Structure 1
Amino acid sequence: MFFTTLAGGALWALACLLALDSAYAQTPPQAWVRQLSSEVIDATQRDRSSPGDATALIERVKATLIPAIDFQRVTRSAVGPRWRDATLAQRQRLQEEFKTLLIHFYAGGIRQISDYSVEVTDTLPVPNQPSQVIVRSRASGRGETHQLDYRLDKVGDDWKIVDVSLDGIWVTLSYRSQFAELLAKGGIDSLIEALAEQNRKGNPS
């Protein structure tokens, strides 16, 4: 139902997992990505040794994604202007359901990325956002090359993932266009229920 592709899920999983270890928080973003990429690839190869252990993959994603992403901010961006109309309780439900959706999405992608190689190319400032940078890279595998960029924000001493782009398509904007259709039809509660239903299926695709 929601925006996913096999390649997209795999590459977005890689992008997020590249930026997750707080030990590298003091490292410049481009070097940080370069250091972590080989470690992540090694880890995903180990994960592939137990192909039936979906629970272990989900737990791995939870352990790494949750500390690295400001889910309230990501959810607010994906929901768009209608976020202002949501009650506190609705915002909490949206955040939890969207977090669960993304955890399953990335867990599904992890299995697909062990044969990709990543070349970090450069780091760009974000206009009018002095605490943010965009780290650009190219991901190659299976005869394809994709432009993989992600936006990081410095919060205190830590980098936080704000958004990820695959071939110029930013993930929060992709979700926003889909969420907008549900919001137009049934409002905030309709979106919450759609997310919850997808999560009950355990396969947000």
Structure 2
Amino acid sequence: MHKRRLFAHLAAVGLFALVAGQAPVFAQSQTPDALVRQVSSEVIDSVKADKTIQAGDIRKIMALVEAKVLPHVNFQRMTASAVGRYWRQASPEQQERLQAEFKTLLVRTYSGALTQVHDQTIELRPMRSKPDDTEVVVRTEVKGRGDTIQLDYRLEKQPEGWRIYDVNVLGVWLVENYRNSFAQEISANGIDGLIAKLVERNKAAAAKASAKS
């Protein structure tokens, strides 16, 4: 599946693993599948109800993502997994910069694709987990215009509630997808080279967004 199409499908349901902030208190008592259903529904409903988001208002879209999606995901774990074995080689400052730039990259990418939301609905498939599991996979299907999209979410149980840390779209796990490209960049140019590459991509995306506004 083409990478841009992958990003668009993820954004269409408003879920991706991006942040290390605190999840809302109410999430502590939620089951993982209920959390996925809630966040998906809230994002889809918000986009459908706001014509400025549908028209591509990037600031409003990013605000929606920050408010509805980011509090429910573990960005630190996702970044560390994407960087892979090189994560331990990175200094605390490099780790912090990687997290910040990776977050900016994905927020902009997914926010831009949210304008593609139209009549999508999400259906949860039966859970295959035990009550005492601390890591689970929630399997869902997104239905609407075009083919049905299979989306799977990996979640971990934290003191503040369930947190998403990876997403699978049609057989492609997001962390694995980035791990391959990140490893190539680090191998060629080091950890600072990867940071510089992410900074470059984020500046280009910001400039493009400003030109459209």
Task: Identify unmatched segments of 5+ residues in structure 1.
Answer: none
Q: 4+ runs of 1 displaced by more than 6 Å?
A: none
Q: Which of 187, 196, 201 is the matching residue for 1:193? A: 196
Alpha-carbon distance in structure 2 between the residues aligned to 1:55 and 1:22:
26
Q: Provide TM-score, normalisation by structure 2.
A: 0.82
Q: Provide TM-score, normalisation by structure 1.
A: 0.85
Structural mapping, 1:101-112, within 5 Å:
101-112=105-116
Instruction: Using the TM superposition, name which of 109-118 and 173-182 deviates more.
Output: 109-118
Q: Which of 100, 117, 123 is the matching residue for 2:121? A: 117
Alpha-carbon distance in structure 1 between the residues aligned to 2:134 and 2:29:
14
- Are 1:29 and 1:123, in contact at CA under 8 Å, matched by a contact in 2? no
Pairwise CA RMSD = 2.4
Alpha-carbon distance in structure 1 between the residues aligned to 2:175 and 2:133:
21
Other-structure match for 2:7: 9
Find out whether 1:177 has 2:165 as its counterpart: no
Other-structure match for 2:158: 155
Letter in 2 for 1:141: G
Q: Which of 133, 137, 140 is the matching residue for 1:134? A: 137
Other-structure match for 1:56: 60
Alpha-carbon distance in structure 1 between the residues aligned to 2:27 and 2:86:
36
Following TM superposition, by how much is the alpha carbon of 1:176 offset from its aligned partner in structure 2, in angstroms? Answer: 0.5
Following TM superposition, by how much is the alpha carbon of 1:35 offset from its aligned partner in structure 2, in angstroms? Answer: 4.3
Letter in 2 for 1:179: F
Alpha-carbon distance in structure 2 between the residues aligned to 1:35 and 1:99:
22
> 1:74-132 CA distances to partner (integer Å, 9 max, x unpaired)?
10000000111111111111010001111112201221123212111122339xx9311
Q: Higher strand proportion, which one?
A: 1
